[in-house]
Amino acid sequence: MKALEAYGKTINKAPWIFIAGILIITLIMGYFSMDFQMGSDEGSFAPDNEISRADQRVREEYGSQSGQLIVLFRSDGNVLSPGSLNAMLDLEEAIQGSDITDIVIKTLDTPDGVTSPADIIIRSIYYNISLQAVATYAVTRDGPMSDLSSCPDAGNLTNTLTSKGSSLSMEEKRVVLNGGVVLIDVDCLAEPLQLEFKGYDPSQLSGYTSDAPMARGLEFLLSREYVNGSSAAGSALFILTTEPDLDPDIALRMEEELQSMADVIEKDQEGLRILVIGDEIVNKAINEASGSSMMVLGTLALVAIILVLVLVFRSAFEIILNVVALFMAILWVFGVGGIMGFEGNPALTTVPVLVIGLGVDYGIHMTIRYREELRSGKNVLEASTAAEASVGFAILLATVTTLIGFLSNVTAGSEGIRVFGILNATGILAAFVIMITFVPAVRVLRDRRRERKGIPLLSERKLRKENMWGWAGKRAADLGLKEDEAFVPSGIGGINRVLSYGTSLAVRPVPVILAVIVLTGIGLAGAARLEPTFDFRDFLPDGVEVSEASKSLVTDFDFSSEEACVIVEGDVSDPAVFKAMDEVKDNAMEGSTIVSSGPIDSPVEIARGLSDPASPAYDTDFYVLWHSNVDRDFDGIIDEDIDRQNVTTVYDAIFLIEPEQTSRVLKKDQGGNYMGLVIRVPVNSRAGELADEVWEDMVHAARPMEELEGGQLDRVTATGGPLLQKVILDDISSSQARSVIFTFLISLGILTAVFLVTKRSLFMGLITLLPLVMVIAWTLGGMYYFGIPLNVVTVTISAITVGLGIDYGIHISQRFMEDRDRIPDGICALTATLSHTGSALFGSAMTTVIGFAILSFAIIPPLAQFGQVTALSVSFAFLASVFVLPTFLLLWLKGNHWYRRKIRGETIPSLEKDCRMDP
């Protein structure tokens, strides 16, 4: 306190120096804040463990997962009607004639880079008709159709027709769909083979798709009302496979061009809506919608906060000064973020909350205490110094304990959590420095001038019995405290009268403690059922068309673009490793979260595609190489007696034929040795709901490779997006739990030491923090009962509760100890504490609650949820401080008196006698 008193005197002597220093720092921070960029990459939350490192190695050494540009077709009738399927062909044809093809990747499974229901249905129809042609040929080859006798067998014809089905031209696709004849060149025939197609009839869809192997992917591209064998659906997905990691500007331009094409096509189709769901076009819509929404909500929140400050301060000067100080503190936060090169993440949207909550609290307490000192007869300099020394000490305690808590996040494995901790600590420190330096310096300059001119600094107030609020005032008068300035109330009388009921409750502790136990039990029961969720699609705003379309990908479809991987590092030319790839695939296909219609990508699967005559990637030379090296008996199973040379020959060949696709799953060092591979598995975690199941499936899939670890292989790791989600959720939850526990223990140590040294009280630190445990339980339980999810934003609420809860509790306890030294009657001292700090705490809590209650109307769900849970948490922290903590303080006082009388033998007045409430 002496140091703070000296600091206050220094400010009073040279306020301009402190003001100039703070302004210079703010200008510097404002400059660097422009370098701080918000991002939304889940990788910023990935902890530094083997799974996240393995995922990073996959991205760096093999390339990211191919991109997907999704177009949603939504029909008022049937999206499988001929008109809708022709619209899909129209869009595909328009793409082929545009520069969008520059970003489209053609793979073995998607030769045109396009996957759509129209494409699958056309290929299924073609497959059935071609099989009929082969069957007819097999029967008549020695009969009337003698012109086919030059073909040696039906197998060659089957391969030719099947291969053609994957490479139909746009004109031929329209013929298959709408009716007509397609001519097929067959090597063994002098004339093209004619295949005749009738017009597509949706009612016959089950007949087209029942035997067609490619038709199994149809259910993943159609909305859930479609089941295998039905002929109608309301929505469908048209998917372009694109290059990974596209430049955002290029991607946005391509997506907007694609949407323009879709707008033209849908005009000719009544009842059909076509929406492009690309990352950048969705981000643009979100930013535009949320920007306008947050502008309105931000303005409303600012107005609401100012109205509360008007109620508390009743001074335009104090309101403007404190609001400016808050903005400066927030600017410092993002300035430090820019200097340190941090990239923002969604959790950082909560940082200004703590800055505003604590900053407002600091400002209100400093201002009200300053006025209280003026009212007691001190001049400007004396009042300012006294406020710095008294309330400044409580603010310092709150700042130190909260700083330590947030800085404990620096040890977290997740970069996003580390950044969250550092910037929160920066904001808290900035609010403290500005509120005890800049604000009092500006106030001293202004009030000294008014003082010299004889302008009253405060309206005159007399101590009257009615200012003592009922029984507490009568008791003060009876005890001779009528003229004692220690009991002069400060703040708003009406609020103080309500808050004085905290003392009324304190004298009847049993009902209070029972109520607290019941509420905490209910809260803990809800908290135990609260499950963390993590999905960036949660940030899609409500009421925006493209945003709602994005959400429908999860709610209306079984489609997934997620990918998990098994990365294998070591000598992958070993025959055992080569054969284990098939075992990994078989194990993966047993999993419940594996997308069976999606292709598993691995070196062996690329080789099988090149050696399969029915595959669009079929290569006749590789067919010979495959069967002469690894499948000599043509049974489709890799031979047991293959050697390293056989494996290397296959690897060399697929690198030569399909270099781009092979480089995504096979790694070759500079010496030509094959030292790693990746098996890419399509999975569906249903937006993270099944992350645990994906984890189990991939661990099971990787087991055949793990059995070779330590021998032929150096390291085998299952990784990928859904697995990262699981470790991110685990890390966020554990990091926040560790942070809260660490903060509580460190705060307990610091407060215990401080109160022991300054007030000779061993247990006051524990008493101060005890309601905080209850508030956390109430808040987490409230989240469960009100249906507020625990996501990447709301998970930070425990830290915010600790930050604000500690602050509220310290103000009450510190002031109670101060008032207890001046007022012998315990109940009157407790009432005086609430009269001195009640209005300040109320103003601080109300500004935060109202501001973030307004945020609950945000169109981005997690921010709305964060507004709700912040308002809930701050309300609980405030109520616990003014209605629960006084009970604990009075119980502590009774225990202290009993100890001093019974154990130490001191002669002191009986607390029960002196502080019993009058009837």
- Judge whether residue 882 has pLDDT over 50: yes
pLDDT confidence tier of residue 204, bands split at 50, 70 and 90: confident
- Judge whether residue 138 has pLDDT over 70: no
- Residue 270 · residue 75 · CB < 8 Å: no
pLDDT score recorded for residue 874: 87
pLDDT confidence tier of residue 93, bands split at 50, 70 and 90: very high
- Judge whether residue 146 has pLDDT over 50: no
Q: Tell me the two tokens of residue 423.
A: 């910037």
- Judge whether residue 626 has pLDDT over 90: yes
Identify the H or E element spanning 193.
strand 193-197
* CA–CA distance, 663 with 680 (Å, rounded to integer): 13
Torsion of CA 602, 604, 606, 611, to 10 degrees: -170
pLDDT score recorded for residue 607: 93
Angstrom distances, CA of residue 860 to CA of 279, 420, 544: 16, 20, 10
Angstrom distances, CA of residue 312 to CA of 368, 378, 434, 892: 9, 22, 20, 31
**pLDDT exceeding 70 applies to what percent of the chain?**
84
pLDDT score recorded for residue 714: 87
Maximum CA pair distance of the chain?
127
Closest CA to 873 of 808, 792, 827: 808
pLDDT score recorded for residue 44: 55
- Judge whether residue 823 has pLDDT over 80: no
User: Of 185-199, 293-307, 781-795, 869-883, which has the strongest mean pLDDT?
Assistant: 869-883
Q: Tell me the two tokens of residue 698.
A: 């991939």
Beta-strand relationship, 37-38 and 343-344:
parallel
- Judge whether residue 466 has pLDDT over 50: no
* CA–CA distance, 855 with 866 (Å, rounded to integer): 8
Alpha helices in 75-116 (DSSP H): 82-96
pLDDT score recorded for residue 477: 52
- Judge whether residue 414 has pLDDT over 60: yes
pLDDT score recorded for residue 819: 82
Average pLDDT over residues 743-770: 85
Average pLDDT over residues 501-521: 88
Closest CA to 468 of 489, 450, 440: 489
pLDDT score recorded for residue 539: 65
* CA–CA distance, 89 with 271 (Å, rounded to integer): 17
- Judge whether residue 151 has pLDDT over 70: no
pLDDT score recorded for residue 865: 84
Query: Residue 724 in 3-state DSSP?
Result: helix
pLDDT score recorded for residue 486: 46
Contacts of 405 (CB under 8 A, 6+ apart): 739, 740, 742, 743, 746, 747, 799, 802, 803
* CA–CA distance, 645 with 636 (Å, rounded to integer): 20
- Residue 75 · residue 271 · CB < 8 Å: yes
* CA–CA distance, 444 with 19 (Å, rounded to integer): 11
- Judge whether residue 343 has pLDDT over 60: yes
Torsion of CA 798, 804, 806, 810, to 10 degrees: -170
Least confident span in 156-160, 595-599, 775-779, 861-865: 156-160
pLDDT score recorded for residue 917: 34
* CA–CA distance, 849 with 628 (Å, rounded to integer): 75
pLDDT score recorded for residue 853: 82
pLDDT score recorded for residue 236: 93
- Residue 459 · residue 426 · CB < 8 Å: no
Contacts of 73 (CB under 8 A, 6+ apart): 79, 84, 87, 88, 235, 236, 237, 238, 272, 273, 274
Adjacent-strand bridge partners of 140: none
- Residue 845 · residue 500 · CB < 8 Å: no
Interaxial angle between packed helices 82-96 and 117-140, expressed in degrees from 0 to 180 and rounded to the nearest 10: 100
- Side-chain half-sphere exposure of 300, counting CA atoms within 13 A: 15
Mean pLDDT of the chain: 81
- Judge whether residue 919 has pLDDT over 50: no
Least confident span in 294-298, 521-525, 849-853: 294-298
For 700-724, the pLDDT digits (tens) are 999 999 998 877 788 999 998 788 8
pLDDT score recorded for residue 47: 65
- Judge whether residue 182 has pLDDT over 70: yes
pLDDT score recorded for residue 918: 35
Angstrom distances, CA of residue 378 to CA of 460, 639, 886: 14, 97, 30
CA geometry: angle at 490 spanning 485 and 494, to 5°?
A: 125
Interaxial angle between packed helices 885-898 and 764-785, expressed in degrees from 0 to 180 and rounded to the nearest 10: 150
Contacts of 584 (CB under 8 A, 6+ apart): 566, 602, 679, 701, 702, 704, 705
- From first CA to last CA, the distance across the chain in angstroms is 40
- Residue 594 · residue 588 · CB < 8 Å: yes
Query: Residue 916 in 3-state DSSP?
Result: coil
- Judge whether residue 42 has pLDDT over 60: no
Query: Residue 562 in 3-state DSSP?
Result: strand
Distance of alpha carbon 272 from the chain centroid: 34
- Side-chain half-sphere exposure of 814, counting CA atoms within 13 A: 22
Closest CA to 425 of 407, 437, 413: 407
pLDDT score recorded for residue 624: 92
- Judge whether residue 101 has pLDDT over 50: yes
Least confident span in 430-439, 535-544, 692-701: 535-544
pLDDT confidence tier of residue 178, bands split at 50, 70 and 90: very high
pLDDT score recorded for residue 71: 92
- Judge whether residue 592 has pLDDT over 90: no
* CA–CA distance, 160 with 544 (Å, rounded to integer): 48
Least confident span in 180-184, 236-240, 298-302, 337-341: 298-302
Contacts of 477 (CB under 8 A, 6+ apart): 465, 468
* CA–CA distance, 692 with 690 (Å, rounded to integer): 5
**pLDDT exceeding 90 applies to what percent of the chain?**
24
- Global pTM exceeds 0.85: no
Average pLDDT over residues 484-505: 64
CA geometry: angle at 202 spanning 199 and 205, to 5°?
A: 100
Query: Residue 597 in 3-state DSSP?
Result: coil
